[in-house]
Amino acid sequence: MARAHVTPPTVTREDIHTIPDDGFTARNVCLVTGAASGIGRATALAAAGNGLTVAATDVDEAGLEGTIDRDEELDLEGTIESIPGDLTDDADIERIVETAAGLGDLKYLANVAGMQHIDPIDEFPMETYDRMHRLMLRAPLYLAKLCIPHFRETEDGEGCVGNMASIHGHYVTSDKVAYNVSKFGLRGLTQSIAAEGEGLIRAFSISTGYVKTPLVTAQLEETAEQRGISVDEVIEDVMLGQSRVTEMMEPVDVANLFLLGFSDLGRHLDGGDLLFDGGMTLTYE
């Protein structure tokens, strides 16, 4: 029963909120990482649903095709272009930004790609730590570094970086040290971009609790084993136990927040974090 609550859903047209915004036109490009799956795919679709041209990147090329197929099935206003690449590789990052900038005026960057690894600190493989750091912290910085000059080149010189953080960027769970450290760091990166952006180049982060994506379903069994509890207990006690809203978020709920942050509604959101965690980190029974 509980398992059904974490089945990754498919994005529908009705799920995508459209925001009237002068910047949301086909001339403007939104680069989305992790766009082959989960939150990244939903963000690419929400950006296309808002009329933007989307540069969708991921290491999973077949998954990117699935995102483009969904764009076409839903007949969304914006087109999605696939730019496969590995974000742990600097040459790939450089090619991704160059290709995205060739599609129009690069104005928005959504850093979404991520991965998880569960092990206690004394057993945590350092090569896995390094890979996660490269993917979830260094790549967002390098992408931002390369995108910012393109933002400045646009007509109004404005642009925005949205970073996918997590409740793990606020407080931590055991056995996820690389993830915790990356998400805390990503909030620091967000504030650093804001500090230098003079209000023209904005940045924000999004921190959610557990969202129904393959990243979460993939860790159910391992977390159950690690903690010596059942999978249903992982969902009910570990993932939703401290949340007042006892329903897991869907990828498109997060995608809509990216578009809100990118839009004019987000013009005073600069360095801030959208903590959408159903009360998980700030309340206590």
- Residue 37 engages ligand NAD in binding (rule: CB under 6 A): yes
Contact residue for ligand NAD among 11, 31, 32, 36 (CB under 6 A): 36
CB 214 within 8 A of CB 8: yes
- Cβ–Cβ < 8 Å for 87, 33: yes
Task: Output the smallest distance, CB 17 to ligand NAD, in A.
Answer: 19
Residue 115 contacts ligand NAD per CB under 6 A: yes
Indicate which single residue of 18, 26, 60, 232 sits in contact with ligand NAD (rule: CB under 6 A): 60
* Minimum gap (Å) between residue 7 Cβ and ligand NAD: 13
Q: Does 210 bind ligand NAD (CB under 6 A)?
A: yes
The window from 19-27, 85-93, 100-108, 153-161 that contacts ligand NAD (CB under 6 A) reads 85-93
**Contact track, ligand NAD, 136-155, x by CB under 6 A:** x-------------------
Q: Does 162 bind ligand NAD (CB under 6 A)?
A: no
Three-state secondary structure along 158-216?
CEEEEEECCHHHCCCCCCEHHHHHHHHHHHHHHHHHHHHCCCCEEEEEEEECCECCHHH
Q: Which stretch binds ligand NAD (CB under 6 A): 12-20, 55-63, 187-195, 269-277?
A: 55-63
Let me know if 238 is exposed, middle or buried by CB neighbors in 10 A (0-12, 13-18, 19+): middle
Taking CB under 6 A as the criterion, the residue among 53, 67, 82, 166 binding ligand NAD is 166
What one-character DSSP code corresponds to residue 157? -
Instruction: Establish if 112 lies at the interface with ligand NAD (CB under 6 A).
Output: yes
Name the one range near ligand NAD by CB under 6 A: 11-19, 38-46, 147-155, 269-277: 38-46
Regarding 56 and contact with ligand NAD (CB under 6 A), the answer is no
* Chain centre to alpha carbon of residue 9: 16
How large is the angle between the packed helices 90-101 and 139-153, nearest 10 degrees? Answer: 30
In this structure, are residues 11 and 44 in contact, taking their beta carbons and an 8 Å threshold?
A: no
Distance set, CA 31 to CA 54, 81, 159 (Å): 6, 10, 11
- Reading the block at residue 61, the tokens are 């090329």
Q: Are the C-beta atoms of 32 and 1 separated by less than 8 Å?
A: no
* Residue 76 touches ligand NAD, criterion: CB under 6 A: no
Among 88, 191, 192, 226, binds ligand NAD (CB under 6 A): 88
Contacts with ligand NAD, residue ranges (CB under 6 A): 34, 36-40, 58-60, 63, 86-88, 112-115, 135-136, 164, 166, 208, 210-211, 213-216
